[in-house]
């Protein structure tokens, strides 16, 4: 039997079925997936494509940590997460989270927990490419941006 890698950063298209197979079993009755896709418009601005970068080894380690946190909170849940990096076009899949459980409530809750934690602790960055420029997006809760070159006051984001 091949080793199943539950938490991966890849630079190729993500096959959703692969993640579902990783968490499926005779014991589970519910599997949820979250599929994050590249949206064309954000805040009225048209994205041409995105570029994702990761601190790969640490990112996989943090994804595993999220898996452990979920195991702690929902012992009967099983989780697999794959995040893609590199250039992604509109409608491409950036991330897939699959969670299985004997019970559906757990499958929904643990899945949502996973995406929230990814946006907090996993070292992955996204660069927007628009017609009129580019920008590395992000803060931990995705509420502000910091255009490269714009002076940001010290402490502003602390």
> Closest Cα to residue 59, out of 124, 156, 6?
124
C-beta closer to a copy of itself: residue 43 or 151: 43
41 scored as a contact of a copy of itself (CB under 8 A):
yes
Pairing of strands 124-130, 41-42: unpaired
140 scored as a contact of a copy of itself (CB under 8 A):
no
Q: How is residue 4 annotated by DSSP?
A: P
Buried b (16+ CB within 10 A) or exposed e, 28-49: beebbbbebebeeeeeeeebee
Number of residues in contact with another protein under rule CB under 8 A: 39
The region of 65-73, 105-113, 122-130, 143-151 touching a copy of itself under the rule CB under 8 A is: 105-113
**Judged by CB under 8 A, which of 23, 70, 78, 124 binds another protein?**
124
What residues make contact with a copy of itself under the rule CB under 8 A? 16-17, 20, 24-41, 90-91, 102, 104, 107-108, 111-112, 115
């Amino acid at each position: 039997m091949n080793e199943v890698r539950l938490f991966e950063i890849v630079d190729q298209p993500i096959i959703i079925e692969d993640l579902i197979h990783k968490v499926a079993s005779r014991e589970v009755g519910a599997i949820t997936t979250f599929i994050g896709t590249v949206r064309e418009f954000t805040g009225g601005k048209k994205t041409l494509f995105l570029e994702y970068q990761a601190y790969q080894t640490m990112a996989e380690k943090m994804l595993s940590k999220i898996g452990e946190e979920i195991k702690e909170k929902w012992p009967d849940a099983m989780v697999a997460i794959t995040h893609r990096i590199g250039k992604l076009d509109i409608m491409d899949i950036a991330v897939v989270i699959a969670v299985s459980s004997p019970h559906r409530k757990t499958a929904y809750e643990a899945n949502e927990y996973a995406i929230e934690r990814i946006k907090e602790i996993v070292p992955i960055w996204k660069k927007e490419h628009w017609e009129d420029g580019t920008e590395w997006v992000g803060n931990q809760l995705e509420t502000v941006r910091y255009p490269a070159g714009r002076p940001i006051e010290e402490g502003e984001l602390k």
